[in-house]
Amino acid sequence: MDFLVSLAPMAGIADRAYRTTARRYGADCTTSEMISAKGLTYGDEKTAALCSTAEKDAVPYGIQLFGAEPEFMQKAVIKLQEIGSNPDFIDLNMGCPVPKVTGTGAGAALMRTPETAAEIVRACVAVSHVPITVKMRIGWDLEHINALEFAQLMEEAGASALTVHGRTKVQGYSGKVNLNYIWRVKASVKIPVIGNGDISSPEEAKLMRDFTGVDGIAVGRGSYGSPWIFTQIKDYLKNGEYAPAPPIEERLEIMSQQVKLAVSLKGEHTAMREARTQCAFYLKGFPGAANFRKECSELTRFEDLEEIVGQIITQSKEIL
């Protein structure tokens, strides 16, 4: 397959508006926010809403499930098919380090119970109409790194691809990603491997590709407020150069379009409260950014955002 530059699934961040924006600016693949297998199985409306594939187009789209019990994970895969969700693949989260997830035995906790993880993969593969992939870490902690054995077990169980975040569960998002273990996983399996972690620039993406030999990368936090990073990465990997970030007015327009889409999908009340975080990402580094981010932290209406954008544009022209 061609080298894949994808958007990593991020709970509470990579909603449909975020994913749509990432696709517009070069993401080759997107994945839903993390979805509870039990919530989906029990018919929770909010959980089902996360499974929308109305955005689906030429760019592959996946739905990510999390859970600790093979029977519920299998039921969730069946449920996706029953409700007419049509992802190109289903990703199983075995890498989330958040305590409320690992505390149930799900997410990165499955790195400690590889046989259960393999049972989950087998159960999902048995009923799925699309490929089953796995998102994993390199181990629970630095004393219990089992990435190679885990990856091989997932392959044997029927996983079609792996995304490897080069940190342990205990590390969370601290410290540096370990490229060596991603390289070793890639060398130990025959299925595609996607590298993940610490990719916030085209140069870091190239380092990940060149050092590990992975089949693609998944950009997570590095895309915060910078959806154009996908195009930058692809240009750099192909040509050795890339365009700088867009000028202020264009960046603000991208931000406004993303929030406007979120409002149309979720309603103003929910979307504008979530936009408080999204806008803070976009405004990083602007002149007077701290004050504008403070204003964004109190957003309740889209017209409030339009007013802030106007103030930033006016200020930037005065500086120039």
Q: What is the largest CA-CA distance in the chain?
A: 62
Residue-wise burial string across 84-104, b where 16 or more C-beta atoms lie within 10 A, e elsewhere: ebebebbbbbbbbbeeebbee
Q: What is the pLDDT of residues 114-170, one digit of tens each?
A: 999 999 999 999 999 999 999 999 999 999 999 999 999 999 999 999 999 999 999
Percent of the chain whose pLDDT exceeds 90: 76
Structural domains of the chain ordered from first start: 4-239 (3.20.20.70), 248-319 (1.10.1200.80)
- pLDDT tens for each residue of 209-245: 999 999 999 999 999 999 999 999 999 999 999 999 9
Q: Which of 29, 96, 124, 296 is catalytic?
A: 96
* Torsion angles phi and psi, residue 159, rounded to 5: -60, 140
Q: Which of 79, 89, 70, 109 is nearest to 32 (CA)?
A: 89
* Region 285-307 average pLDDT: 85
Q: How many CA atoms lie within 13 A of 135 on its CB side?
A: 32
- Residues 196, 229: contact at Cβ < 8 Å? no
Would you state the pLDDT for residue 320?
A: 46
Query: What's the pLDDT tens digit per position in 173-200?
Result: 999 999 999 999 999 999 999 999 999 9
CA atoms within 13 A of residue 267's CA, in its CB half-sphere:
2
Please give the average per-residue pLDDT across 40-58, as a whole number. Answer: 67
Cβ pair 135, 89 in contact under 8 A: no
pLDDT for residue 319 is more than 90: no
- In this predicted structure, the answer to whether residue 81 has a pLDDT above a threshold of 90 is no
Return the pLDDT at 252: 93
Answer yes or no: are the C-beta atoms of 190 and 201 closer than 8 Å. no
Specify whether 96 is catalytic.
yes
Q: What is the pLDDT of residues 197-216, one digit of tens each?
A: 999 999 999 999 999 999 99
Q: What is the pTM of this model?
A: 0.92
In this predicted structure, the answer to whether residue 13 has a pLDDT above a threshold of 80 is yes
